[in-house]
Amino acid sequence: MNFNPAIPIYMQIMDMIKRDIVTGALARGERIDSVRALSEKFGVNLNTMQRACSELERQNVINTQRGVGSFVTEDAQTIANLKEEMSNGMISEFLQGMQNLGYNKQEILEIIRKADEL
């Protein structure tokens, strides 16, 4: 697994799990692997994985049932919010990049329209 070493790793793992939930690779209500199995999968230590999971839990993205396991949320609204949050992030990054290249909003819209026609 390749991580950006300058960004907290637990955050990068959270993003990967969220992306899997939004794309459906992890289904609603699906049981997720144990923290130990996940830490092995991501190649990080247990504490990092534990932190990622407890943050996801705090954000209600996953729910843990004591003694049973952790599950992806069933709540469609939470998942829709995740999707929006993710797309907002991508768009603001894109806009920032385009503005750095010197395009104004009008030009950016034009470029997107052109790209769409292809």
Partner 1 sequence: MSNILTVKGLTKPFYGNPVLEELDFSIESGRVVGLMGPNGAGKTTLIKTIMQLYRADKGEITILGKEAGTATKGLLSYMPDTNPLISWMRISDALQYYGDMFPDFDKERAGELCESLRLDTGKKVTALSKGTVKRVLIMLALSRKAALYLLDEPFAGIDPLGTNQIIKTILTGVREDASVLIATHQVKNIETIVDDLLFLNNGRLVLSDSSENVREFRGKSVEECYLEVFSHA
In the complex, which residues of this chain contact partner 1 (CB under 8 A)? 1, 3, 5-10, 39-40, 43-48, 51
Measured on CA atoms in the order 105, 107, 110, 112, is the torsion positive or negative?
negative
Q: Which is nearer to partner 1, 41 or 105 (CB)?
A: 41
CB of 67 to partner 1, least distance (A): 17
State the minimum distance, in angstroms, from the CB of residue 75 to partner 1.
28
Q: Compute the distance between CA of residue 99 and CA of residue 55 in angstroms, rounded to an integer.
A: 33
| Smallest distance from partner 1 to CB 100, Å | 19
Given the complex with partner 1, which of 39 and 73 has the nearer CB atom? 39
* Residue 62 contacts residue 52 (beta carbons within 8 Å): no
Q: Smaller CB distance to partner 1: residue 29 or 89? A: 89
Compute CA distances 63 → 10, 42, 72, 112, whole Å. Answer: 17, 20, 6, 39
